[in-house]
Structure 1
Amino acid sequence: MDKKALSERDICTKFITPALERAGWDIQAQVREEVSFTAGRIIVRGRLHTRGKRRRADYVLSHQKNQPIAVIEAKDNKHSLGDGMQQALAYSDALDVPFVFASNGDGFLFHDRTGLGSQTETTLGLDDFPSPDELWERYCHYKGLDQAARPVVEQPYYDDGSGRTPRYYQTVAINRTVEAVARGQDRILLVMATGTGKTFTAFQIIWRLWKSKQKKRILFLADRNILVDQTKNNDFKPFGQAMTKVTNRTVDKSYEIYLSLYQAVTGSEEEQNIYKQFSPDFFDLIVIDECHRGSAAVDSAWRSILEYFSSATHVGLTATPKETKEVSNIDYFGEPVYSYSLKQGIEDGFLAPYKVVRVDIDRDLQGWRPSKGQIDKNGELIEDRIYNQKDFDKHLVLEKRTQLVARKITEFLENSDPFQKTIVFCEDIDHAERMRQALVNLNPKRVAENRKYVMRITGDENEGKAELDNFINPEARYPVIATTSKLMTTGVDAQTCKLIVLDQRIQSMTEFKQIIGRGTRINDDYHKHWFTILDFKKATELFADPDFDGDPVKVYQPRGDDPIVPDDELAEDDVAAGDSAEALTETQAEGVEDNWGDYAVEPGATWQTDDAGVADSGEDGPGKRVKYVVDDVEVSVVAERVQYLGADGKLITESLRDYTRQKVQEQFASLDDFLRRWHDAERKQAILDELAEQGIFWEDLTRELGDRLGDEPDPFDVICHIAFDRPALTRRERAEQVRKRDIFTRYEGQARQVLESLVDKYADAGIAPIEDVKVLTLAPFSEIGAPMELVQAFGGKAGYTRAVHELEDALYQSGS
């Protein structure tokens, strides 16, 4: 057997898999081959999208299901033994496995990341691969898992037989948490971006700890009723009769899994603190959902629950850990045992990417100053100063600005999809109502079809709140547009939200991340693969902040007796003027009866004062801050630009043409370099696919360039023209030149007919179809003969492949 002639797959089948079997690995239960562990990044250009390649490991070895401990990267025998090692190490980073192998069929190069062996890398023969028990022993020693801890970490995942298994990053999060608990760690923090399945991850953690009897009575805490109900009815459903939801009325201590709102077990009066009906050691595990809110602050009334049950293990879950000088998740829980960021989720293809349409308005950039003695629409004397973007819609309303924003939203929807779910984030409830009215007036036909086309969904109004479930339900067409201020920033699982409008000045990074998270879910059934951010207040400048997708850094500084804001999402710049204390107190009073997913206000929370020291509650009274309304100031758009999310996670502001030139020139140093690679390529389509993964869409690019390239240009010509300023030919022109040169004279009969038909196919459909032998099954080839018969007309597959390459060389000889 000539090993050098074998494919990579043959090397796996004939050498690597048998070596694993001889070492005692169960091929069915412990070995998975060709494991795709990402979904492939979604790349958006214009109105089109495609997916990049999935990351795929040749082998993943597990002690048992979903407990990966090793990866193997295989190469064919033309490569050296360790050629796949760096690739395998990158996979081991993602999968969190310490044992890494590379092989070309001659043996294995073994890289031990535990640091426990005498050498980091060693060469092993095909018969020297370590057994499952040997690697598991090393793994447990590396992780600090003694004999008592092992039954806990060996406890299987919940499997309902549906095929739903944790994604790779969920597996890492679950395993690290279970291992930490098994080692006795009592404070654990998990950071996972919005839309990455924190609740499902929490369920699998609890399931394994509960089934292994490591934890017997467990409390899951959240601060929104809708989150508790969704959890109970969906991910946690397998707990069945062992699970209950705590109310603020009765306590039944016969259950093992408890789900509760903070508001259901706490109150301002001692008798309302239902949690004290449980003994302090009743629960041995507490999982805190969205732990950046509520219990994050030291002096929080909700923190008292965690302190009361301090003997339990506490696991905090959040997409946005809070790290300020006043509040710290890390101070309480410790450094995260695992973090999975928005950037990584988009890179892996599990989260939807975004494009940004940034709209700059003249008054926002230049400011506005009233004339001396000017009064507003309501007869109020306008304070004489310069008003800028920070003031608009909070302290000063320019009615024509509201109308302009509403018009741009309407234009965007009409030019794309008028029924795409849209959330408009406004400064406060008053602004949300004015925006609703403006959108209603600009969409009379849509509103006549259904009055709920536009709805204000805010915490003070039951009619709008009642539509929240319909808004987030993919099957419900209405409401389409929701105007809001704070209510929908978090905890709203709007899977089909395709447009997020920012007409709100956002200073809190936590709040910004939460708002962006409203659009990051993917829903294939409803063609939701990406979303657009329409930004009117420069909020998307926060994308450039290193903190946007960086690891949380602890900056908490205890300050003695200084008062601490219970939740800095509600600090001065973030509490919306007009979100009245009255309305918020109502929400607080609703407690467990709040079925709307409202923004939960912690008992005893105090409201910030404005910079004049007057409570900004929206109530009448002395010192009330006036919101001026001006209806005769003209406003206009001075700049509008589209930004795409690049492969490096940064926003790209170049035109599609500029972006294409940059990416091509990054890959090919010169025209000669490109031509050499193009002519040498076994498949031209492979080069096009590589560039598509960089975000180059040929159809969109050709449309943008219009008549400049003529009808139906080949991507080859698009590249030469854009990147290297070469004149372009159409596919039909290239095909015609090949026909004129009559290059097929040495072929006769069926072979010549096939080549002539391939030229026609190229002219109609491009290079991709003629590079695929399956084209012979289609008309007109099927009318010439059967596929095998046609291939034999060239003397076999090698002859057919050679003839196709000759045809390609002829096609690209002209104009190159």
Structure 2
Amino acid sequence: MDKKALTERDICTKFITPAVTGAGWDSQGQIREEVTFTKGRIIVRGRMHTRGETCRADYVLSHQPNLPLAVIEAKDNSHSIGAGMQQALRYAEMLDVPFAFSSNGDGFLFHDRTGLSDRVETELALDQFPSPALLWDRYQVWKGLKPETVPTVVTPYFDDGSGRDPRYYQTIAINRTIEAVVKGQDRILLVMATGTGKTYTAFQIIWRLWKGKQKKRILFLADRNILVDQTRNNDFKPFGAAMTKITKREIDKSFEIYLSLYQAVTGAEEDKNIYRQFSRDFFDLVVVDECHRGSAAEDSAWRDILDYFSSATHIGLTATPKETRDVSNIDYFGLPVYTYSLRQGIEDGFLAPYKVVRIDFDKDLQGWRPEAGQTDKYGNVIEDRIYNPRDFDRKLVLTQRTELVARKVTEFLQATDPYHKTIIFCEDIDHAERMRQALVNLNAAKVAENRKYIMRITGDELEGKAELDNFINPESRYPVITTTSKLMTTGVDAQTCKLIVLDQRIQSMTEFKQIIGRGTRINEDYDKFWFTIMDFKRASELFADPDFDGDPTQVFEPGPGELPVPPDEPEEPDHPDTPDQPRPSGDPLRPDETGNPRLRYIVDDVEVSVLAERVQYYGADGKLITESLRDYTRKCVRKHYASMDDFLRRWTSAERKKVIMEEMVTQGVLWEALAEEVEKKVGHTLDPFDLVCHVAFDQPPLSRRERADNVRKRDYFTRYGGTARQVLEALLDKYADTGIENVEDIKVLQLDPFTRLGSAVELVKAFGGKDRYLQAIQDLEQQLYG
């Protein structure tokens, strides 16, 4: 047997797997082969999308399914033993496992990340592969696990038989949290981006601690009633009769799992503090969902609950740790045991990427000053000063501005899909109501179909709140467009929301992350792979803030002699208990945040216009593309092709041009968006080849039709006769109409007009067989691009 002639899979089957099983690893439960653990980043192409490469480990070895220990990267025998080590180490880091192996079938290169061995890397013969017991013992030492804690650590996940297993990052979050608990850590913070399954992760943590007898009575706290109900009816359902929801009445202490709304167990009056009916040591675990909100503040009423049950282990869950001078998650919980960020979620393909449509109005950028003595619609004389975005829709309402926002939203939906679920974030309830009215007038036909096409969903209005479940239900078509203020910023699992509109001044990074999180969920069944952010208040500038997707950094007060810390920008008031504060409508008198009356001017006759509009895309580096799409593409192409000759060589040498196009997508080229922008200026459709040559190398672009006509002028077809010539002429027309991809796909012969010339088999035979047909296609491409 020539070992070097074997494929990588043959090497796995004939050499690696026998060596691993021979060392005592159970092929049924401890060995998993070809484990794909990411989904592949979603790459948006205009209105289309594709997925990038997934991460796939050749082998993942586990003590048991919930405790991975090692990865093995295999190569065929033409590679060295260690050729796969760097890839194995990358996967080991991602999967949080201490051991990595590389093999080509001759033996193994073993890398020990624990720091417990004298040698980091050791070459092993095939019959020297470590046993499960050896790696498990070393793992326990690495993690600092004591014998009495192991039974809890090895407690299995809940398995309902559906085949749903925790994703790789959920596994890490669960294991690190459980390890922290069994080692006695009493304050634990877990940071996971919105849409990555925090509640499911919390369930598995609680399940294993509960089943492992580590924790007997658990309190799960959330800040929205809908979150508590969703948790109880969905992820926590397996707890069954052991679980109850606390309400503001006499409590039953016979349960083991308690779910509660913060507001249901705390209040200003002592008799409202239902939690005091429990003894201080009743709960031994308290899990705090969305802990970035009121529980983070030292003087918060919510913190009273945590202080009361201070003997329990406290686990905080958040997508957005809050770190300001006055409020700190880290000060209370400590540094996160694990962070899975929005950027990582998008990179792995578990979260939806986004593009941003920035629309700037003249009055927003230039400000507005009333004329002397000018009055509003109620006859109030408008205070003479310059009004800016800080004032709009709070102290001054420009009615035409509201109508223009509604018009731009309507135009966007009509150009894409008028039934795309949409959330419009407004300054307050009054603004949300005005926005609803403006949208209703612009979408009269849709509202006539169903009055719930547009709904205001705010905390003061029962009818709107009642539609929240329908909005987040993928199977419910209505409501389509919702206007809101604070109610929908957190905890709304809107899986099919494809448009988020920001007409709210946002200063809080925490709130901004929560709002963006409403769109990051993916729902493949409903074609939700990415979403759009339409920004009217320049809130998307926060994307450029280094804190947007970085690790949380605690803010310390300076001590004597220390350098002062610059003060944080003041945040808008955060009222978690009453997310939407209703205000009287129909009258310009409004209370301000302190409850004192203020005058809000309503102005109907001030014209507002669009000054600038641009689209920004989520780039391959995780940042918004803020430069022009042409400049961005030019940089992407020239990073890989130093000259046009380099690009020409790569293009002409490729058997299929589609491969080059897909490569360039992964390098950041957004074909459809680029074509849409460039073709508007040149006035005709362009081949991808001409797009690149024009944008990256300043070449005059030819249309596909011009390229096709140039081929005809050269009498290229004279070397072919009969049916073969007719096929090539039809292929040239197909290229001019639809591009090179269809020409390269042999299945095109099954379509009109080729079917009128004969069957696909007959047409290929006209060239003398498949090989000669494919050669003719390559010759045609040489003529097109030569």
TM-score, normalised via structure 2 length: 0.90
Aligned equivalents of 1:671, 1:346: Cα separation in 2: 33
Task: Indicate the RMSD between aligned Cα atoms, in angstroms.
Answer: 3.4
2:716 corresponds in structure 1 to 740
Instruction: Name the SS for the 1:404 alignment partner.
Output: helix
Q: Does 1:629 align with 2:629?
A: no
Letter in 2 for 1:626: L
Q: Which of 677, 685, 693 is residue 666 of structure 2 equivalent to?
A: 693
Deviation at 1:157, TM superposition (A): 0.9
| Farther off after superposition, 550-559 or 222-231 | 550-559
Change (3 A) 1:383 1:717: closer
Moved more, 454-463 or 673-682: 673-682
Map 1:204-283 to 2 at 5 A.
Answer: 204-283=204-283
CA shift, 1:705, in A, is 4.2
Structure 1 residue 686: Cα displacement: 2.5
**Range that drifts further, 533-542 or 381-390:** 381-390
1:323 aligned partner: 323
Instruction: Give the CA deviation at 1:714.
Output: 4.6
Distance change >3 Å, CA 548–CA 243, structure 1 → 2: same
**Could you tell me which residue of structure 2 aligns to residue 599 of structure 1?**
579
Distance 2:727 2:71 in 1: 45
User: How do residues 690-729 of structure 1 correspond to structure 2 at under 5 angstroms?
Assistant: 690-698=663-671, 701-706=674-679, 714-724=687-697, 725=699, 728=702
Q: Secondary structure at the match of 1:625?
A: strand
Change (3 A) 1:737 1:181: farther
Task: Please report how far the alpha carbon of residue 687 of structure 1 lies from its aligned counterpart in structure 2 after TM superposition.
Answer: 2.1
SS in structure 1 at match of 2:438: helix
The one-letter amino acid of 1:320's match is T
> Structure 2: which amino acid aligns with 1:574?
E
Change (3 A) 1:785 1:275: same
Matched residue count: 766
1:812 aligns with 2:782: yes
Q: CA deviation at 1:510?
A: 0.5
Q: 1:784 to 1:501 in 2, by over 3 A?
A: closer
Q: Which deviates more, 172-181 or 119-128?
A: 119-128
Letter in 2 for 1:399: T
1:503/1:536 contact within 8 Å kept: yes
> C-alpha separation between the residues in 1 aligned to 2:435 and 2:429?
10
Q: Is the 8 A contact 1:68 1:97 kept in 2?
A: yes
TM-superposed CA distance for 1:106, in Å, is: 2.1
Give the deviation of 1:360 after TM superposition: 0.7
Per the TM alignment, residue 171 of structure 1 is displaced from its structure 2 partner at its CA by 0.8
Task: Supply the distance in 2 between the matched residues of 1:689 and 1:209 (Cα, whole angstroms).
Answer: 46
The 8 Å contact of residues 325 and 558 in structure 1, kept in 2 or not, is answered as no
What residue is the counterpart of 1:177 in the other structure? Answer: 177
C-alpha deviation, 1:741, in angstroms: 6.1
Cα deviation for residue 260 of structure 1 reads 1.1
Partner of 1:132: 132
Q: Which amino acid aligns with 1:636?
A: S
Superposition pairs of residues 433-444 of structure 1, within 5 angstroms? 433-444=433-444
Equivalent residue, structure 1, for 2:650: 677
Aligned partner letter, 1:693: T
User: Shift in Å at residue 678 of structure 1?
Assistant: 3.2
The 3 A distance-change label for structure 1 pair 303 and 703 is: closer
Structure-2 change in CA distance of 1:558 and 1:201 (3 Å): farther
Q: Does 1:202 align with 2:174?
A: no
Measured against aligned partners, the alpha-carbon deviations of 1:214-236 in whole angstroms (never above 9, x if no partner) come to: 11111111121111110000001
Tell me what 2:553 maps to: 553
Q: 1:769 to 1:632 in 2, by over 3 A?
A: closer
Asked whether the equivalents of residues 395 and 601 of structure 2 are also in contact (C-alpha less than 8 Å), the reply is yes
CA contact (8 A) 2:192 2:318 kept: yes
Match of 2:156 in 1: 156
Q: Which residue of 1 aligns with 2:145?
A: 145
Q: Which consecutive residues of structure 2, in runs of 5 or more, have no partner in the other structure? A: 560-566, 584-589
Does the 8 Å CA contact 1:750/1:790 hold for their aligned counterparts? no
CA contact (8 A) 2:187 2:314 kept: yes
Over 3 Å counting, the alpha-carbon distance change for 1:19 and 1:734 in structure 2 is: farther
Q: 8 Å contact 2:217–2:284 — kept in the other structure? A: yes
Tell me, yes or no, if the aligned pair for 2:186 and 2:313 is still in contact at 8 Å.
Answer: yes
Distance apart, 1:173 and its partner CA: 0.5
Which residue does 1:73 correspond to in 2?
Answer: 73
- Maintained 8 Å contact 1:426/1:502: yes
Query: CA, structure 1 residues 127+756, in 2 after alignment: closer, same or farther (shift >3 Å)?
Result: farther
- Identical counterparts, % of pairs: 69
2-structure distance, mates of 1:199, 1:470? 21
Partner of 1:574: 572
Does the aligned pair in 1 maintain the 2:45–2:671 contact within 8 Å? no
Change (3 A) 1:784 1:318: closer
CA distances 1:400-457 after superposition (whole Å, capped 9, x unpaired): 2112112111211222111211111111111111111211222222222222222221
Matches of 1:218 and 1:2 in 2, distance apart? 61
Q: 2:623 and 2:592 mapped to 1: Cα distance?
A: 37
Deviations 1:120-149 (A, max 9, x none): 112122222111111111111101012111
Q: What amino acid maps onto 1:370 in structure 2?
A: P
**2:383 counterpart SS class:** coil
Question: What does residue range 296-311 of structure 1 map to in structure 2 within 5 Å?
Answer: 296-311=296-311
2:623 aligns with one of 624, 629, 650:
650
Offset, 1:808: 2.0
Q: Tell me the CA shift for residue 695 of structure 1.
A: 4.3
Tell me the alpha carbon deviations over residues 245-271 of structure 1, each in whole angstroms, 9 at most, x when there is no partner: 111212212111111112222222222
2: CA distance, partners of 1:530 / 1:545:
22
State the secondary structure of the residue aligned to 1:148. helix
- The DSSP-based 3-state class of the residue aligned with 2:204 is helix
Q: Indicate whether 1:616 and 2:587 are aligned.
A: no
C-alpha distance after superposition, 1:584-642 (max 9, x if no partner): 8xx96xxxxxxxxx6399xxxxx9xxxxxx972586xxx62211122222211111111
Supply the distance in 2 between the matched residues of 1:75 and 1:734 (Cα, whole angstroms). Answer: 47
Q: 1:667 aligns with which of 632, 636, 640?
A: 640
One-letter code aligned to 2:622: G
Alignment of 1:82-97 (within 5 A): 82-97=82-97
- 8 Å CA contact 1:25–1:132 kept in 2: the answer is yes
Residue pair 2:45, 2:672 contacting (<8 A) in 1 also: no
Partner of 1:422: 422
| Distance in 1 separating the partners of 2:74 and 2:767 | 34
Q: Residues of 1 paired with 2:367 and 2:729: CA distance? A: 67
> Is contact 1:40–1:348 with CA below 8 Å preserved after alignment?
yes
Q: Which amino acid aligns with 1:92?
A: A
Distance 1:30 1:744 in 2: 61
CA shift in 2, pair 1:84/1:357, >3 Å? same
Deviations 1:244-301 (A, max 9, x none): 1111212212111111112222222222222122221111111111111122111222
**Mapped pair 1:390 → 2:363:** no
Deviation at 1:572, TM superposition (A): 7.4
Q: How far has the Cα of 1:325 moved from its partner? A: 0.7
| C-alpha spacing 1:355/1:301, structure 2 compared with 1 (3 Å) | same
Q: 2:4–2:78: 8 Å Cα contact kept in structure 1?
A: yes
Query: Aligned partners of 1:148 and 1:704: how far apart in 2?
Result: 64
Matched residues in 1 for 2:618 and 2:345: separation? 13
State the secondary structure of the residue aligned to 1:238.
helix
1 CA distance for matches of 2:772 and 2:75?
Answer: 26
| In 2: Cα distance, 1:375 partner to 1:741 partner | 77
Tell me the amino acid that sits aligned with residue 444 of structure 2: P
Read off the aligned partner of 1:599 and give its amino acid letter: P
Structure 2 residue matching 1:26: 3-state secondary structure: coil
1:544 CA displacement: 0.3
* Distance 1:737-1:81 versus aligned 2 partners, 3 A rule: farther
What is the distance in 1 between the residues matched to 2:132 and 2:772?
47
CA contact (8 A) 1:735 1:760 kept: no
The question of whether the paired residues in 1 share the 8 Å contact of 2:750 and 2:759 is answered with no
| Alignment-derived partner of residue 341 in structure 2 | 341
Contact 1:222 1:262 in 2 (8 A): yes
User: Shift of the alpha carbon at 1:766?
Assistant: 5.8
Shift of 1:203: 0.5
Kindly provide the CA deviation profile for residues 332-390 of structure 1, in whole angstroms up to 9, marking residues without a partner as x: 11100000111111111111111111111111111112223332222222222211111
Question: Quick check: 649-658 or 148-157, which moved more?
Answer: 649-658
Are residues 757 and 801 of structure 1, via their aligned partners in 2, closer, same or farther at CA, if it must alter by over 3 Å?
farther
- The answer as to whether partners of 2:73 and 2:102 remain within 8 angstroms in 1 is yes
> What are the Cα deviations for residues 690-727 of structure 1, in whole angstroms up to 9, with x where unaligned?
11223435455445544988987653444334433265
Aligned partner letter, 1:247: T
C-alpha distance in structure 2 between counterparts of 1:786 and 1:257, whole Å: 70
